[in-house]
Structure 1
């Protein structure tokens, strides 16, 4: 009799344990029960880097500093850029002077000099022409040699060429610079000015400004370091939007639809935070090792992102969070 009672008692205990296992492990919460899931805080970060290479001259913030968008964070040495700007200013002055000269045309004094040169070369040419004709007229009588006549003709041809050249020079000076030459001068001025504009932008880029409001979470370089645009100088935590990454199994996915209002609690504080489901991944994945127990790690779940609507500075990157969804949930669209 005692054996029967003992076996009956053991059986009742096993049934109770099985029911408890089903209740706490296998049974899915109904819509009338609070539903809890677990996740981690995600704080998004922005990287701040110089757009120019150079040596860091000054660092104005440190880790933990609260910054606003547009705040000056650090600067590079500017000696090279300043010297290059001075050289370009000189080139611009020269290019402008040459363009002014082209637009102004030839001075009156230069035209007068060209006219005098024309008169001189014309007189030489006329004299050479007369000498050649005189020598040529005496050739038939044998008074002069053919060689002498040939020399007179050559002298006349040279004088004619000099006269033509002087006349062309006078015409050019009267007409002034060609439109093409003026256009070239204008393009040169524009090219040097464009180079200066690029250098001014490069000089401005030696100043590093905060790209967004946030908190400096890491300072990666020190004064005197040589950096390039590929080097991150600061990482800035964006405190305006704090998220929680959590995972929901497929049977309970309807309880965590987009817009669902939730409550969140960390292990380090008693404060209850308010949140809203902002995103549900369309793709299932296996439960991350850090989120669920060993017997559920092979289950497939859906990642959700929750916006913490009343976040404060106590929520830190990676902090574990318990997410509670009330029995009758409300949603916000």
Structure 2
């Protein structure tokens, strides 16, 4: 009986050993040179600074867009009206500037010249009348003193009239004063700025892709009202996809910015290569009071890595990965 019992124990040991080996192999974590991490995406939320009804949506969730592709448009009735008004006001200001630069019209200048000639003729006649009246003073019985004074007064009046018309004609030929021209030019610049603002506001009702990438989500449907600044499209550019992992205090000192890393993804053959883009200066866990030897082992530091765009397109936010640092090129 003792022999049978011994053989039974031997058979049990032989049966249990494979199970123990399998359990031990199943409990093993990733290789010691690999650290678990996950894929993270930094999204771009595309919005308009103005409110309006969503009139068109040019993309679908899950699609790809290139730089400058149209994404969506809001109704533009109010902004178009403001732009048109600004254009008309600018045209009015430009016409006013040209008008003040020209001065008097040719017909007005010819009228001033004709008035000046008439005044000059009257002045010559008044000079002759003064001479004639002064000659009559020597004749006896002639009451010419009053007539001489009247003739001299008319001469002075005609001289002043000629001087006035000459000044008016000179001013008409000069055009508008410099300060009036400067004021008109300032008005034109103000209207140009108002038009630029109106055109910018109109353009903001249509949004294009700021970068090429993946349309992660669309948040509104055509016909819905979109508030000012509310995102309509969420984009995920390839260069905004990165891998995040947490490295222990004992290993973070051996990692530098630009170091080459490799990640492996479940279901993907081969490794994807990238570079370390960020190492957090702060520990994610800080034990109280002091850093004991045991507590230091609990410290981890965030490390991020970026990949070229072709490789990043195969990565999806939230995807678990294994990260291997200090990979030789």
Distance in 2 (alpha carbons) for counterparts of 1:254 and 1:287: 17
Residue 33 of structure 2 corresponds to residue 35 of structure 1: yes
Distance in 2 (alpha carbons) for counterparts of 1:184 and 1:39: 66
Contact 1:39 1:323 in 2 (8 A): yes
Contact 1:248 1:256 in 2 (8 A): no
For 2:237, the equivalent position in structure 1 comes to 238
Residue 73 of structure 2 corresponds to residue 75 of structure 1: yes
Residue 262 of structure 2 corresponds to residue 265 of structure 1: no
For 1:202, the equivalent position in structure 2 comes to 201
For 1:95, the equivalent position in structure 2 comes to 93
Residue 231 of structure 2 corresponds to residue 211 of structure 1: no
Q: 1:84 to 1:124 in 2, by over 3 A?
A: farther
Q: How many Å apart are 1:162 and its aligned residue?
A: 8.9
Gaps of 5+ in 2: 1-23, 124-128, 130-156, 287-293
Contact 1:287 1:299 in 2 (8 A): yes
**Which secondary structure does the structure 2 equivalent of 1:264 belong to?**
strand
Q: How many Å apart are 1:204 and its aligned residue?
A: 2.3
Distance in 1 (alpha carbons) for counterparts of 2:322 and 2:49: 42
TM-score with structure 2 length normalisation?
A: 0.64
Contact 1:285 1:301 in 2 (8 A): yes
**Which secondary structure does the structure 2 equivalent of 1:89 belong to?**
helix
Contact 2:241 2:317 in 1 (8 A): no
Residue 250 of structure 2 corresponds to residue 251 of structure 1: yes
Q: 1:251 to 1:225 in 2, by over 3 A?
A: same
Match for residue 327 of structure 2 among 308, 326, 330 = 330
**Which secondary structure does the structure 2 equivalent of 1:111 belong to?**
helix
Deviations 1:275-297 (A, max 9, x none): 34514525242359xxxxxx999
TM-score with structure 1 length normalisation?
A: 0.63
Distance in 1 (alpha carbons) for counterparts of 2:244 and 2:32: 19
Distance in 2 (alpha carbons) for counterparts of 1:325 and 1:298: 20
1:131-146 correspondence to structure 2 within 5 Å? none
Contact 1:40 1:244 in 2 (8 A): yes
**Which secondary structure does the structure 1 equivalent of 2:56 belong to?**
strand
Q: 1:103 to 1:312 in 2, by over 3 A?
A: closer
Q: 1:311 to 1:118 in 2, by over 3 A?
A: closer
Distance in 2 (alpha carbons) for counterparts of 1:274 and 1:51: 39
**Which secondary structure does the structure 1 equivalent of 2:238 belong to?**
strand
For 2:289, the equivalent position in structure 1 comes to none
For 1:14, the equivalent position in structure 2 comes to none
Alignment RMSD, CA only? 4.7
1:105-116 correspondence to structure 2 within 5 Å? 105-114=103-112
Gaps of 5+ in 1: 1-23, 131-157, 289-294
**Which secondary structure does the structure 2 equivalent of 1:233 belong to?**
strand
Distance in 2 (alpha carbons) for counterparts of 1:104 and 1:234: 54
1:304-319 correspondence to structure 2 within 5 Å? 304-308=303-307, 310-313=311-314, 315-319=315-319
Distance in 2 (alpha carbons) for counterparts of 1:163 and 1:224: 76
